[in-house]
Chain A
Amino acid sequence: DTGVSQNPRHKITKRGQNVTFRCDPISEHNRLYWYRQTLGQGPEFLTYFQNEAQLEKSRLLSDRFSAERPKGSFSTLEIQRTEQGDSAMYLCASSRRTGGGYGYEQYFGPGTRLTVT
């Protein structure tokens, strides 16, 4: 049973460029979450998917951010026109949701560290 994987692990980009990150969840997990973690802080929720449907987005997710999960498998997070304030660790997590409608604990990937110069 492989864990959550994320690529790339590190990304350095210049301000104004677009970047895309990928997350591959644990295979039987139907929920996928994106979080952002800045240095010395706890992770903050960005958005989540149940299968291919994006069900909630945080107000932290500006119009420059977009996430997709085609076919309910892997997910991508794109940031357009990056700003220095976007520098952070972007974490992906996945979990099961039972047929009864309740959630389970989330398992996290290693994260993608973004540095915007």
Chain B
Amino acid sequence: EVHLVQSGAEVKKPGESLRISCKASGYNFATQWIAWVRQMPGRGLEWMGIIYPGDSDTRYSPSFQGQVTISADTSITTAYLQWSSLKASDTAIYYCTRHWEGDWFDPWGQGTLVTVSS
């Protein structure tokens, strides 16, 4: 069975850096794209970007290009989402999810709540 397990909730100050993780199991991690999705408080789902762990080919939504970095380590079947300088507006739940060839997403990680506050 496929599982995506994300790292725990984070509380950070504006300007700090952060990397959250998504540990995959139950499938060939290197050969399936994995995406990150943001959900701000009380808001909808926003696709941030996607990575192919096998060769680290990464695509970003124009809204998130330059704001975050997506990476992956095939040796430990883990994908990452990182910020170099957090803003209060980065406060949200972040989900990782596996991409299927037909362009849908399933399953989803449990989500990581990131709170940025001074």
Same complex: no
| Chain B interface (Cβ < 8 Å from any Cβ of A) | none
| Chain A interface (Cβ < 8 Å from any Cβ of B) | none
